[in-house]
Amino acid sequence: MERLNLKEKKQAILEFIKRNGPSLPSKIAEHVKMPLLLTSALISELKSEGKLKVSNIKIGGSPLYYVEGQHNQLEQFTKYLPQKEKEAFELLKKEKVLDEEKIEPAYRIALSNLKDFSVPMKVKVNEEEKLFYRFYSFDKKEAIEKIQELLRKKEEKEERKIKKETREKREEKRQERKREKDAFRKKVLSWLEQKKLVVEKELDKESIFCSFDSEVGKLYFTVLFKKKKSIGEKDILLALQKAQETKHPLILLSDGKLTKKAEIALKKCGSFVLFKHI
């Protein structure tokens, strides 16, 4: 008789939960009119038999028990969740899928605790494992598609970021070169002033036509200036060509040093090309 009674009690527990949805052991015990300890033992048996499911969410330290098909009813108990878990639940419900890397640490912990509603999904990206969270009722296939979309957008954003950084670095280098050239130009003009050479006109960005008042009258020079670490043979030959074009002696100014080949080429130019290190 006792076995039959317990079997009936187990059936009564199932019927109660089917009618009332996810329930606390204390409420179930009241309904079946049994001590809580014995009711809990029967609930445990039903869970082991696969007839009952248990929630991760707890009310007053006790979980809820429910049958297949009642999972969604657990949502009505989210008001008992800690504040951060409540917020994480609402966010996941709204977004359907969340990238763990994109959420604040407090929400990461909250989502890992929301086992009733948050389903972790691991995805391999370039041999690296990425973690996403799916809302429990959101279709897995749709979640995979959404993850792929998130990864694509993330990759595009990263590419845009890299391009922007590259542009910024390029612009920074350009500005730096410009500052260096401007500073070197000031240095050249200062040198010309010291040597009492008067600027007659600018020929281009790197050359100036100058004059000098000597005892025998005005003398004219082409001044070519180059900011380079070293002046090579090619630079000397180009300077000679410039001197021939202007038909005046040329002074080559640079903060770089002459290479050995440049020294040989300079000697061949005679007095037509002079080199000054400044």
Task: Convert the pLDDT of each residue in 172-182 to its tens digit.
Answer: 999 998 999 89
Architecture of the CATH domain 195-277 = 3-Layer(aba) Sandwich (3.40)
Per-residue confidence at 1, pLDDT binned at 50, 70, 90?
very low
Q: According to CATH, what is the number of the domain 1-73? A: 1.10.10.10
Domain limits, the chain? 1-73, 81-180, 195-277
- pLDDT per position as a tens digit, 95-133: 999 999 999 999 999 999 999 999 999 998 888 899 999
For residue 135, pLDDT beyond 60? yes
Provide the pLDDT for residue 45. 95
Name the more confident of 52 and 215: 52
For residue 4, pLDDT beyond 60? no
Q: How far apart are CA 92 and CA 112, in angstroms?
A: 12
Q: Which of 4-8, 51-55, 236-240, 272-276 has the lowest mean pLDDT?
A: 4-8
Provide the pLDDT for residue 124. 87
> Percentage of residues in the chain with pLDDT exceeding 70?
99
Q: Sign (positive/negative) of CA torsion 265, 270, 273, 276? A: positive
53: its two tokens: 């499911």
- The verdict on pTM exceeding 0.75 is no
User: Residue holding tokens 């972790």?
Assistant: 120
Query: Which residues are CB-neighbours of 117 under 8 A, at least 6 positions away?
Result: 74, 75, 78, 89, 92, 93, 135, 136
Name the more confident of 135 and 181: 135
Concatenated DSSP letters of 32-67: HT--HHHHHHHHHHHHHTTS-EEEEEEETTEEEEE-
98: its two tokens: 């969340």
Q: How far apart are CA 77 and CA 70, in angstroms?
A: 13
Q: What is the mean pLDDT of residues 262-278?
A: 93
For residue 142, pLDDT beyond 60? yes
- pLDDT per position as a tens digit, 190-249: 999 999 999 999 998 899 999 999 888 899 999 999 999 999 999 999 999 999 998 999
Q: What is the mean pLDDT of residues 264-272?
A: 91
Average pLDDT, the chain: 93
Q: What's phi and psi for 204, nearest 5 deg?
A: -160, -165
